[in-house]
Amino acid sequence: METTSNPIGVLLLRPLSPYLQQELSKRYALFKFWESPPNLRREFLGEHSNSIKAVVCNGVQGADAEIIDALPLLEIVASHSSGLDKIDLDRCRERGIRVTYTPDALTDEVADMAILLILATSRRICAADQHVRSAEWKNADFKLTSKFSGKSVGIIGLGRIGSAIAKRAEAFGCRIGYHSRSLKPNSRYKYYPSLTDLASDSQIIVVSCALTRETHHIVNRGVMDTLGRDGIIINIARGSHIDQAELISALAEGRLGGAGLDVLEHEPEVPDLLAQLDNVVLSPHAGASTYETRKTLADLVVGHLEAHFSNKPLLNAVI
């Protein structure tokens, strides 16, 4: 553990919860990466490279090769997220750097967000809100929308979160199908080896799988066209699961009915055309952004760091 004369340095990449910052500051020398101007960050890392032994990141900004290489004493990367795609895992393995994540803590909130996005997209809640606020309601009723109850829902990835989404959708009387790398022997839902077949038999597609080389742009033009003009795509996983340019075209041309997106391919950048479409509901990667979950995530991250620097087993170790 750290000593008064030589405290362990922890680099926090993004301004995560005040509670996490407080708990880290109690135990370590906390370096706030976002407070350094972007053009001076390389110098910032060099200045503190002899102190920083841990990096705390999340699903938006992770420890890439440049950060890892700038920190010769780095021992552990602790992700405040269930995703690992923003971390250069190969470089961590080469360097013998431990990596932890928080896979179980955010399942319920992210599954809730998926259902929220389905309802908000199918019922056009954002457009309806604007209809009221702009006083258009005085002139005309809001246009008709589509119901969610009883629809066929196809889930890409039937892991923890995908299963939680399926359970919630069942409560709406929905028929559930799924596509994944392999059949889930204990699942009662119909398995589709082909994503195109799942799309052809679904009215709503929910992306809930890990981002890998194989799942990059897994939702492409073919999937969108198969889902069709009344179909809806929901993404609570990672932006790069969907070919975003093709998605925008499909939505703008009316080849796809709507989309609910908690993640974007190049977040936080939002294409102008996407932002202008009224058949899209956008959320700023906030699926797990609740007070309750953020405290749980923070406690897990701090626990991972404490375990590592005390030479104890790591609860959720990837490397």
Residue 267 bears catalytic tag: yes
Is 240 strand, coil or helix? helix
Residue 308 bears catalytic tag: no
Catalytic residue among 2, 75, 267, 306: 267
Ramachandran category for residue 311: left, alpha or beta (phi over 0 → left; psi -120 to 50 → alpha): left
Q: What is the DSSP string of 269-294?
A: ---HHHHH-TTEEE--S-TT-SHHHH
Residue 188 bears catalytic tag: no
Is 121 strand, coil or helix? helix
What beta strand segments (E) does the chain contain?
A: 9-12, 29-32, 52-57, 76-79, 98-100, 152-156, 175-179, 190-191, 204-207, 232-235, 258-261, 280-282
DSSP symbol at 137: G
Angle, nearest 10°, between helix axes 107-122 and 125-133? 60
Catalytic residue among 124, 131, 238, 241: 238
Catalytic residue among 98, 179, 285, 304: 285
Q: Give catalytic residue positions.
A: 238, 267, 285
